[in-house]
Structures are given as C-alpha cells and as structure tokens.
Amino acid sequence: MSIPTRDGARTTRAVPGARDAVFAQLADAGRAEQVARRLADAIVLGVLAPGERLPNEAELARRFGVALVTAREALGMLREAGLVETRRGRDGGSFVVHPGDADDAMLTARLRGLSQVELGDLAVYVTTIAAGCADRAAERSTPPDDERLRAWVDAADFSTPSAARRNAGGFLLELAVLSQSTRLVREQLRLQAEFGPLLWLGMRDPALRARAAAAADAIARAVAAREATAARTAVSALLSDVAAWLLGAKARIETGGTIDG
Amino acid sequence: MASTVMDAAVASAADRVSLLFLGLYDTLADWRDAILTEASGAPTPSVLDERVGALVLPPLREPDPLLIGAGFIAAPEFTGSSELHFSWWLGPLDDNPVFGATAAPSRLDLASRSYSDYLRDFASLEWYRIPSTTHRTHITGPYIDHLCACDYIVTVTSPVEAGGRMIGVVGVDVYVKRIEREVLPALLATGRRLALVNKAGRVMVSTDPAVAVGTVLPALADSTPCPGTPFRLVPTAPTAPAAR
C-alpha cells in the first residue's frame, strides 16, 4: 500500500483528535490565559507543528468561543513566550515557532500537575473502552474488514513520536469502527481528543513505540482470527504499558529526574 | 399454500428494499449527468462546490430528509490538485456529542476531522476505490462513518466518468436507522424472523430480537436477494439460529 499524504508538509500530523481538542470551547474566567495555555501545550506536545500557521484571530475567537480581543490577547502571550511569531503581508499570520528546551519544563509541569490516582483512573477508563471495542471487533469483523485492518497496520509508521501518537490513536479508533457501535466510536473520538496528547506522551520512548507497533500487529491478528479474548487482552496490555510509562515518568519527575529518566 | 403467501410477503419486502435503493441510484445518475454536462476543463474547487451544492443541497434541506450526506468527490486530476476534493455536504445533524448539532446542511470540513489523518489515503477507502475499479455504483456499509455524521450509515457512490477516465464519484449517505424506518414495516409484514444483510452477511435490519444489527450471519442458501442491490433477506429462525 502506498502512502500518499493528503496534506502538505506544513500541516501537522497530530495525534487523532488532538487538534480538535486544542480548539474546543472554553467556559471560565481568565480566558486569554486559558487560550494561551491550550495552544502552548499543543505546541510543546507537537500537536501544532513548527512553521504551522495558526487560525487567524477571528477564527480562534470563534473556535474557542471567546471574544476577538481575548484571542488577540492570547496570541500576544504566546508571542511573548516565544512560541509563535506574527508575520505581516499577504502570506502573513501567526506561525508556530519551534520551541526550544522549554518543552520538557512544560511537560514536566503538566505531568506533575496530575495526581497518580487521576492518571490511574484515566487508564482504567481508556482501557475499558478500548478493550470493549477490541472484543466486539473480533466478534463482528468480516474478512474484508480484516484485510483492510491488516493493510493499514502493515503500512502504519511508529518510527517517530508524532507518527506513533497519530497511529496509536488511529488504531484504537479503527477498532472502535470495527465494533459497529456508534457510541463506542464517539467515545473513542472524545477520549482521544481530550486525553490523546497526554496518553501517548510515552511515544517519545523508542522501546514503547516498538511495543505499541507489535501490539497493533498482534491485535489485528487476534481480530482476524475472531479471538475476542486475545484481542481484549492485547489491548489491555498495551494500555497498561502506556499507563505504566506515564506513572514512571511522573515518579522520575517527583524524585528530581527528567521525563525520560 | 401458506408458505406461498409468506414467500410473496418476503419477495415484497425484498422489493421494498430494492425500491429504496433504486431511488438513490436515480438521484446519483441525475447528479452525474448534471456534473458531466457542465464538466468542461478543470473547474476550480469553488466553482465545483457551487455546482455540486446546487444539486445536493435541496434534498438535504427537505423536512425529515432521507439523505444525511451527499456530494461529489473529485479525483485529483479533475481539479488539477494533488488530492481528492470533497464537494460534500452533511444534512442537519441531531444532537451529536462529537461534532455538535446543526440545524441546516453544512459543508464537510476535513480540517475539523484531523484525527482521521491516520487514514493516510481517502482514495483507498471503499466508497471511492470500488467504483473507480469496477466503474459501477457501489454500496458501502453498513458502517460507522466517523468523517461525516459519525453514525451508522450506508454510503452509495457512483463513478462519474468522462473520456474513459473517472473524474470522481457522486454519493449519498443514509442513516441505517432511517433505512430501518423505510423497510422494517415490510419485513415485519412477512411474519417471519429474518434479517436484511449485506454481501458480507452484516445485519442492517432484523425482525429477530436475537439477531442484533451490526452482527454477521453466516452465508445461507435459502436467502432472498433484493434485486439491484447487494442486500439479501435471510431467515434467522427456526432453521437458522442467530450467530452468537
């Protein structure tokens, strides 16, 4: 299977749903700070890529559900933080600047801000939904579905953090689609949008990426073999692995280390 | 004697299914002809959108529309682009936890479906690939389409060909729940336990409480084809217990 891209080089290849979550509406006070923080997180996590043009002020205001002046203020904060630069002219706009060593500091703060119990509970929920999808997919997939899933897995790239994040999330969504359950698909989309960037943080670890690729392969085989228990077990094992990585990174941070060790 | 009457009821139910889809084929043929009539040179995407919108928006705006999505997906060569162009509209969506509810038809905005990046290549998807290789109208589904309505749907696509080349596909999306409303009375009128299945045996509508929509039934000899469609009516009881 060839891998044509449907978007240009400037467009971010983000984790599924992450971009949508970036622009989901906000409700509370301190809105400019919230807008700035959401975008800063996305830039640091690589959801928005260096060089990418952000939506204009009016579009940002619409998508976040804030006033134009608030969107403008947020962009100003990002400029000050050195995360975006604004260019004038016909091809102008606000562009994502490659964040420097500030990345890890921000990610560290983010992981520190979540408790173990919150991370653990998130893992339980994500695993339950995904395992349920795998279970039903194994029961309801047809030979053409199996072939399609196989072709997708064979061509799926887990070689870089961003590709692995996108494809790991995409794989779980594909399992949901095979379950034939609209509710499971919608829930999987919502989960990936809300927690994808955090959940797949461990894809920066090459060993975990390799295990995720192997897991996708094993799950696709179990689905094609109509082995619901094997599919469910493999999905649960993958997500346990991913959760353990997050908890491990948090523990390293708490004891004065870095995310990666 | 009674069996003949029941067989007639089954044939009538199969005809009801056929009628529904033949109507969709007619719609697609009209749109295809309209696009071909105006297809001179490579239209810009915005010109194409205007033309296609004029064709597909009226049925999407009908009260209680049969269609939940409709449009034309242009081959890259037709618009002189490097990728497929979606001149595609969604009907009003009921409360949809993923994309929100809409009161009027909306243009499909793929930028808001960026999670679908993992799909890599839309041209490899069934609703585009099959008509492009068979040169015939194709029915995809039932399946969950997370690009558009994010619901359980059936997609019907027809190739639009000019000068021996496919310039794109015209298509319609219909909710499975809407198909159920259209054909279930005829299925129930048979007085039998049976299921409407696609070519792969996937259940779309069922009169058997033990046979759930979305499950797959094994191939059975005594099924009744719905002429002009890939669908069949399959008896599920008592000779053919539900696949569990």
Instruction: Summarize pLDDT for A30-72 with one digit per residue, the tens.
Output: 788 888 878 877 776 667 777 888 888 888 888 877 888 888 9
pLDDT at res. B240? 42
Contacts with B220 (C-beta within 8 Å, 6 or more apart), sequence order: B234, B235, B240
What are the structural domains of chain A?
A: 18-100 (1.10.10.10), 115-254 (1.20.120.530)
Closest Cβ opposite residue A6 in set B83, B150, B152: B83
Among residues B155, B83, B51, B213, which one has the least CA distance to residue A5?
A: B83
Q: Measured between beta carbons, which residues in chain B are less than 8 angstroms from residue A142?
A: 200-202, 216
- The Cα B211–Cα B185 span in angstroms is 17
Chain B: residue whose CA lies nearest to A8: B82
Cβ density class B49-86: b for 16+ within 10 Å, e for less:
bebbbebbbebbeeeebbbbbbbbbbbeebbeeebbbb
Higher pLDDT, A250 or A16: A250
Chain B: residue whose CA lies nearest to A148: B125
Contacts with A252 (C-beta within 8 Å, 6 or more apart), sequence order: A258, A259, A260, A261
Are A112 and A254 in contact by the 8 Å Cβ rule? The answer is yes
The alpha helices in chain A, defined as continuous H runs, are 18-22, 31-44, 57-64, 68-80, 102-112, 116-140, 143-155, 161-178, 182-199, 206-224, 228-254
Three-state DSSP state, A34: helix
Interface check for B215 against chain A (CB to CB < 8 A): the answer is: yes
Higher pLDDT, B231 or A83: B231
Are B114 and A169 in contact by the 8 Å Cβ rule? The answer is no
CA distance A5 to chain B (A): 6
Interface check for B141 against chain A (CB to CB < 8 A): the answer is: no
Q: Position of tokens 């339980």?
A: A124
- The residues facing B90 across adjacent strands are B69, B106
- The residues facing B171 across adjacent strands are B71, B157
- Cross-chain residue pair B121–A6, CB shorter than 8 Å: yes
What are the structural domains of chain B?
A: 17-177 (3.30.450.20)
Are B232 and B226 in contact by the 8 Å Cβ rule? The answer is yes
- The Cα A162–Cα A143 span in angstroms is 30
Closest Cβ opposite residue A20 in set B115, B150, B216: B115
- The Cα A77–Cα A94 span in angstroms is 12
Backbone φ and ψ of B156, nearest 5°: -115, 125
Chain A: residue whose CA lies nearest to B96: A186
Backbone φ and ψ of B206, nearest 5°: -140, 145
Amino acid, single-letter form, for residue B240: A
- Helix axis angle for A206-224 and A228-254, nearest 10°, is 160
CA distance A256 to chain B (A): 35
Task: Assign residue A29 a region (left: φ > 0; alpha: ψ between -120 and 50; beta: otherwise).
Answer: beta
pLDDT tens, residue order, chain B (244 aa): 455 666 899 999 999 999 999 999 999 999 999 999 876 667 888 889 999 999 999 999 999 999 999 999 999 988 888 889 999 999 998 766 566 677 889 898 877 676 777 887 888 899 999 999 999 999 999 999 988 888 999 999 999 999 889 999 999 999 999 999 999 999 999 999 999 999 999 999 999 999 999 999 987 778 999 999 999 999 997 644 444 4
**A28 pLDDT more than 90:** no
How many angstroms from the chain centroid is the CA of residue A242? 13
Task: Give tens-digit pLDDT for A213-254.
Answer: 999 999 999 999 999 999 999 999 999 999 999 999 999 988
Task: Give tens-digit pLDDT for A130-177.
Answer: 999 999 999 999 999 999 999 999 999 999 988 898 899 999 999 999
Residue A104 — pLDDT band, cuts 50, 70, 90? low
- Cross-chain residue pair B146–A189, CB shorter than 8 Å: yes
**A15 pLDDT more than 50:** no
pLDDT at res. A217? 98
pTM for the model stands at 0.79
- Cross-chain residue pair A140–B112, CB shorter than 8 Å: no
pLDDT at res. A166? 87
| Tokens of residue A227, six digits | 């082995």
Q: Measured between beta carbons, which residues in chain A are less than 8 angstroms from residue B216?
A: 140, 142
In the β-sheet with B85-90, what is the strand arrangement from edge to edge? B106-107, B85-90, B69-74, B165-175, B151-162, B138-145
